[in-house]
Structure 1
Amino acid sequence: MPDDTPTTDQVWRQLTHLVMDTRDGWKRAVTERTGMPFSRIRVLRRLRPGPLSAKDLARAAAMDAPATTVVVNDLEERGLVIREIDPTNRRSKLISLTDAGERVVAHALATPDPAPAELADLTPADLRTLHEILRKLEH
């Protein structure tokens, strides 16, 4: 009897497919709700924990440096982020959310995000099992 145990990479591909390939509707709704491209919201979310340098923000948002500069310039013009001199390295600047930026992120995250049909079709027992497995992965 062949071993039918999936590899961790196979399971990971399934998880990322489920999440990434079913979020387009939510991303469109966020864009409509905020009036901004989703890429701007993605950057704002990365700043929620606290200020980042442009280099760290680019890494966190999986963007190259020129694209990050364009996005930050736009967000700064909108009054959603500010650049301030890094007190630990005066040659560097830190980018942080303004109160208005925090409100935009909160508004975006309040956009309804219903579960995909594939998840909604699971039995209560399957949902409990999946929930327990995901809780183990959070820690």
Structure 2
Amino acid sequence: MTAPAQRSNEADQLWQMMVGLVWETRGEWRRKVSEVTGLPFSRTRVLRRLFDAPMTLTQLAEATGSDAPATTVAVNDLETRGLVERYPHPENKRAKLVSLTGAGKQMIDLVRRTVRDDAPPGVHDLSKTDLAHLRRILERIDRAAR
């Protein structure tokens, strides 16, 4: 039987491998997103996080993995470009919500329509059985993370 420390170490190694695979295959996609939008990728990332619902600056900073000052700078820039707007939070007088404008939604729609986000060749080379196993494993990890 595998000791818990060994399982944990193996889990950490596999996680690092997955992160590395994703990280190393995203550069070209990110470049294309910036090319299509004319924005730094960090700005497009903020727009994407706001696509489903408005957020406070604090929520947005957490969702993008940025600190509050960097998030404020990004939102200021996007607001100047007419892609987001701020308005008072209906339940918290001290907070403001940030939401996409129509132009911001169009920007994200443009990225979705024009920039392909295909899996790398190694994923395409997996058998149907392997893909089914991978889906099951990733769904289990996703459920545990929520």
More strand by share: 1
Q: Bigger shift: 44-53 or 73-82?
A: 44-53
Query: Aligned partner of 1:34: which letter?
Result: T
Which position in structure 1 is the counterpart of 2:132? 128
Which position in structure 1 is the counterpart of 2:109? 106
Scaled by the length of structure 1, what TM-score is found? 0.86
- Among 62, 66, 70, the alignment partner of 2:65 is 62
Superposed displacement of residue 126, structure 1? 2.2
Find runs of 4+ consecutive structure 1 residues off by over 6 angstroms. 2-6
Distance in structure 2 (CA, Å) of the matches to 1:65 and 1:131: 35
% same residue: 46
Number of residue pairs matched by the alignment? 138
- Among 75, 85, 88, the alignment partner of 1:85 is 88
- Among 37, 47, 51, the alignment partner of 2:50 is 47
Which position in structure 1 is the counterpart of 2:74? 71
User: Residue 34 in 1 paired to residue 37 in 2?
Assistant: yes
Superposed displacement of residue 122, structure 1? 2.4
Decide whether the 8 Å contact of 1:86 with 1:93 is kept in 2: yes
Which position in structure 1 is the counterpart of 2:24? 21
Cα deviation per residue 1:86-107 (whole Å; 9 max; x = unaligned)?
1212232111111211111122
User: Residue 10 in 1 paired to residue 13 in 2?
Assistant: yes
Distance in structure 2 (CA, Å) of the matches to 1:90 and 1:135: 38
Decide whether the 8 Å contact of 1:44 with 1:101 is kept in 2: yes
Q: Bigger shift: 31-40 or 46-55?
A: 46-55
Decide whether the 8 Å contact of 1:80 with 1:97 is kept in 2: yes
Distance in structure 2 (CA, Å) of the matches to 1:26 and 1:126: 25
More helix by share: 2
Residue segments in structure 1 that go unaligned for 5+ positions in a row: none
Distance in structure 2 (CA, Å) of the matches to 1:46 and 1:53: 11
Distance in structure 2 (CA, Å) of the matches to 1:123 and 1:92: 50
Cα deviation per residue 1:99-135 (whole Å; 9 max; x = unaligned)?
2111111222331012112222323332232223223
Distance in structure 2 (CA, Å) of the matches to 1:132 and 1:43: 30
